[in-house]
Chain A
Amino acid sequence: MYPIWEVPNLTAGIILALIATFHILPSHFSTSAMWFNVYVETKAYRENRPELLEFIKRYSLLLLVFSYVLGSLSGIGIWYAATVANPRGISGLIHNYVWGWATEWVFFIIEVTGIFIYYYTLGKVDKKTHLKIGWIFAIGSWTTMVIIVGILSFMLSPGKWPETGNFFDGFFNQTYWSQLLMRTTLMFGISAAYAIAVATRIKNEDVKAFITKTASKWGIAGIILGSILLLWYLKTLPARPHELISILAPKTLKTGMIVTAGLLILYFIYAGMKPLSIRLIPAILAIVVIFGGIWSTERIREMIRKPYVISQYMYSNQIIGKAIPAKAVAAEANVINEKGILKVAPFVPEGLKEVNDANALQAGKMIARIECLSCHTLNERGLRPMPQMVKRLEFKKEVEKAKEVEEIEAFLDGLGGYPYMPPFMGTPAEKMALATYLDSLAIIK
Chain B
Amino acid sequence: MEMGTILKTLQDPMGIPFYPVVFQALMVLTFALHIMFVNFTLGTSFLSVYGYLKGGENWTRLSRSLAKATTVNISMAMLLGVAPLLFVQVVYDPFWYASNTLSAAWVMGFIFIMMLGYSLTYVFYLKRDHKTGGGFAIFGIIAFALFLLSGIIMHALGYQLLQPEKWLNWYIKGNTVDTSGTSLHAFQLPRFLHFIIPSFAMTGIFLMLYAWYFKNRADFDKGYLEWVGKTGAKMAFIFTAIQAVVGFWWLFSLPAGFSFFTNPFFLIGAALGIVLLVFLYNAQKDPVKYAVPGVLGAFLTIFGMSYAREALRMKYLGRFDYSIFNYKLNIDWGSTALFLSTFVMGLLIIGYLLAVAYKSGRTSGEYVATPSMNKWGKISIALLLCWIGIVAGLGIIISVRNYL
Contact = CB atoms under 8 A, between A and B. Distances in A.
Interface of A: 2-6, 12, 15, 19, 65, 68-70, 72-74, 76-77, 79-81, 83-84, 87-88, 90-92, 94-103, 105-110, 112-114, 116-117, 120-121, 123-126, 128-129, 132-133, 135-136, 139-140, 143, 146, 159-160, 165-169, 171-172, 174, 176-177, 320, 324, 327-330, 346-349, 351-352, 359, 362, 366, 369
The 6 lowest CB-CB distance pairs between A and B, nearest first, are: A5-B104, A84-B104, A106-B346, A6-B179, A87-B97, A99-B335
A126 B101 contact: no
Nearest to A111: B79
Q: Is the interface of B mostly helix, strand, loop or mixed?
A: helix
A72 to B, nearest CB: 5
Nearest to B13: A329
Contact of A125 (B342, B356, B378): B356
Given A4-B101, A133-B356, A349-B175, A84 B398 contact: no
B267 interface: no
A80 B105 CA distance: 10
Contacts of B81: 76
A140 B369 contact: no
Contacts of A109: 79, 346, 350
Given A4-B179, A79-B85, A83-B107, A129 B101 contact: no
Contacts of A165: 330
Contacts of B75: 68-69, 72, 112, 116
A114 B381 CA distance: 13
B184 to A, nearest CB: 14
Interface stretch (B197-205, B273-281, B360-368): B360-368
Given A136-B380, A346-B9, A98 B97 contact: no
A166 B381 contact: no
A101 B353 contact: no
Contact of A73 (B118, B342, B363, B391): B118
A169 B81 CA distance: 29
A84 B110 CA distance: 13
Contacts of A362: 175-176
- Of the candidates A2, A100, A121, A139, the one having the most CB atoms from chain B within 10 angstroms of its own CB is A2
Contacts of B87: 98
B174 A369 contact: no
B366 A167 contact: no
Given A73-B115, A347-B177, A139 B384 contact: yes
A371 to B, nearest CB: 14
Interface stretch (B14-22, B50-58, B237-245, B306-314): B14-22
Interface string B314-334: 000000000000001010101
Interface string B146-185: 0000000000000000000001100110111101110000
A114 B377 CA distance: 12
Contacts of A172: 394-395, 398-399, 402
B82 A132 contact: no
B216 interface: no
Contacts of B14: 92, 95-96, 324, 327, 329
Nearest to A87: B97
A103 B14 CA distance: 20
B374 interface: yes
9 contacts: A3-B179, A73-B78, A77-B111, A87-B100, A94-B12, A112-B79, A125-B369, A128-B374, A169-B398
A121 B356 contact: yes
Contact of A369 (B10, B12, B100, B179): B179
A102 B83 contact: yes
Contacts of A87: 97, 100-101
B186 interface: no
Contacts of A106: 339, 342-343, 345-346
A102 B339 contact: yes
Contacts of A177: 395, 399
A139 B385 contact: yes
A98 B175 CA distance: 38
Contacts, number: 279
Nearest to A78: B111
B93 interface: yes
Interface of B: 1, 6, 9-10, 12-18, 23, 26, 72, 75-76, 78-79, 81-83, 85-87, 89-90, 93, 96-98, 100-102, 104-105, 107-108, 110-111, 114-115, 118-119, 122, 167-168, 171-172, 174-177, 179-181, 328, 330, 332, 334-336, 338-339, 342-343, 345-346, 349-350, 352-354, 356-357, 360, 363, 366-369, 373-374, 377-378, 380-381, 384-385, 387-388, 391, 394-395, 398-399, 402-403
Given A2-B10, A80-B110, A72 B79 contact: yes
B350 A113 contact: yes
Contacts of A76: 78, 81-82, 85, 111
A320 B356 contact: no
Given A102-B343, A124-B366, 15 more contacts: A2-B101, A73-B114, A73-B118, A80-B111, A91-B89, A95-B90, A98-B23, A108-B82, A109-B350, A110-B346, A129-B369, A133-B353, A167-B17, A167-B335, A169-B402
B118 A69 contact: yes
Nearest to B5: A346
B176 A349 contact: yes
A362 to B, nearest CB: 5
B234 to A, nearest CB: 29
Contacts of B108: 15, 77, 80-81, 84
Nearest to B90: A98
Contacts of A110: 346, 349-350, 353
Nearest to A131: B377
Output the residue of A98, A101, A176 with the most chain B CB within 10 A: A98
A347 B168 CA distance: 7
B338 A359 contact: no
Given A70-B115, A73-B111, A167-B332, A84 B360 contact: no
A4 B104 CA distance: 9
A91 B111 contact: no
Given A3-B177, A84-B181, A110-B353, A143 B387 contact: yes
